[in-house]
């Protein structure tokens, strides 16, 4: 039975971290909302799930994953669930916990990226909070990007055996998540992020190695990969990337 992923069909968002894990593992999955409405898919299928009364443990928001009768919400919980099943996490408990800790830090960074263009909340358009976004983005560019990237660089520097991935030679869902964030930052903040990445050669190497993995490379070149756009988390507003 294929996994069923429920997420918005027009954006990468947090759902992309789940897609990358499924793609890397060659897992059988259905991206439900990207199916035509007449085939049991579309946004209507996503929204209809929230209206169901037969789910004892309903998800709060998308993304969520249906694995047989089990429904898992929250990106971190989904990847924790998939890590063991898809071979994208270490077998020992301490290793699994470390990978999950790294992922949670990646998701902290994702949240901060989102708040650069929506510092007052998602209920307002970017244009309605542009002045606040400019101030938030300045702090993000000058203080936060470098701090996060240096931490990931330190992990890679201390990994045994040596890279190219966070735990050495084996890729995990945390590596795929970090790859996605690096790609997103390169799109949203090309000027600011290029400087940070120039000082993090191991993070840059992880990005290259991940992009060249056979299944990831094929996915990135396919129509399944939604392009970055100004509706998702990683948005390129040139004024936010100004020095």
Are residues 96 and 172 in contact, defined by beta-carbon separation less than 8 angstroms? no
CA Rg, the chain, in Å? 18
Query: For residues 18 and 33, what is the distance between their CA atoms, to the nearest angstrom?
Result: 14
Look at residue 230 and give its three-state secondary structure: coil
Tens digit of pLDDT for each residue in 108-145?
999 999 999 999 999 999 999 999 999 999 999 999 99
The pTM for the full model equals 0.96
Look at residue 55 and give its three-state secondary structure: coil
**Starting at the edge strand that comes first in sequence, how are the strands of the sheet with 3-6 ordered?**
29-31, 3-6, 64-67, 70-73
Mean pLDDT of the chain: 95
pLDDT score of 243 more than 90: no
Minimal CA–CA distance to 213: which of 84, 29, 24, 21?
Answer: 24
Question: Which of 147-156, 158-167, 230-239 has the lowest average pLDDT?
Answer: 158-167
Cβ atoms within 10 Å of 195's Cβ, excluding its own: 13
Query: For residues 191 and 186, what is the distance between their CA atoms, to the nearest angstrom?
Result: 8
Tens digit of pLDDT for each residue in 53-91?
999 999 999 999 999 999 999 999 999 999 999 999 999
| Confidence at 31, pLDDT banded by 50, 70, 90 | very high
Which domains, ranges and CATH numbers included, belong to the chain?
3-86 (3.40.30.10), 93-213+236-241 (1.20.1050.10)
| Confidence at 242, pLDDT banded by 50, 70, 90 | confident
| Confidence at 40, pLDDT banded by 50, 70, 90 | confident
pLDDT, mean of residues 25-49? 91
> What is the model's pLDDT at position 120?
97
> CB within 8 A of 101, min separation 6: which ones?
none
pLDDT score of 30 more than 80: yes
């Amino acid at each position: 039975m294929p996994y069923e992923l429920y997420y918005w069909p027009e954006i990468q968002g947090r759902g992309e971290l789940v897609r990358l894990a499924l793609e890397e593992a060659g897992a059988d999955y259905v991206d439900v909302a990207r199916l035509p409405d007449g085939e049991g898919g579309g946004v209507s299928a996503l929204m209809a799930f929230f209206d169901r009364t037969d789910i004892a443990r309903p998800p709060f928001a998308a993304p969520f994953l249906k694995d047989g009768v089990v429904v898992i919400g929250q990106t971190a919980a989904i990847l924790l669930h998939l890590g063991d099943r898809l071979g994208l996490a270490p077998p020992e408990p301490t290793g699994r916990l470390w990978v999950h800790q790294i992922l949670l830090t990646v998701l902290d960074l994702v949240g901060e990226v989102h708040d650069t263009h929506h510092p007052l909340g998602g209920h307002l358009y970017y244009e309605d909070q542009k002045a606040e976004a400019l101030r938030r983005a300045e702090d993000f560019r000058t203080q936060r990007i470098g701090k996060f990237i240096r931490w990931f660089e330190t992990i890679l520097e201390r990994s045994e055996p040596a890279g190219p991935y966070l735990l050495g030679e084996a890729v995990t869902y945390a590596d795929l998540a970090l790859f996605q964030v690096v790609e997103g930052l390169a799109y949203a903040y090309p000027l600011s992020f290029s400087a940070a990445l120039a000082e993090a050669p191991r993070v840059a190497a992880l990005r290259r190695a991940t992009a060249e993995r056979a299944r990831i490379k094929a996915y990135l070149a396919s129509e399944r990969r939604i392009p970055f756009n100004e509706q998702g988390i990683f948005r390129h507003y040139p004024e936010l990337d100004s020095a």
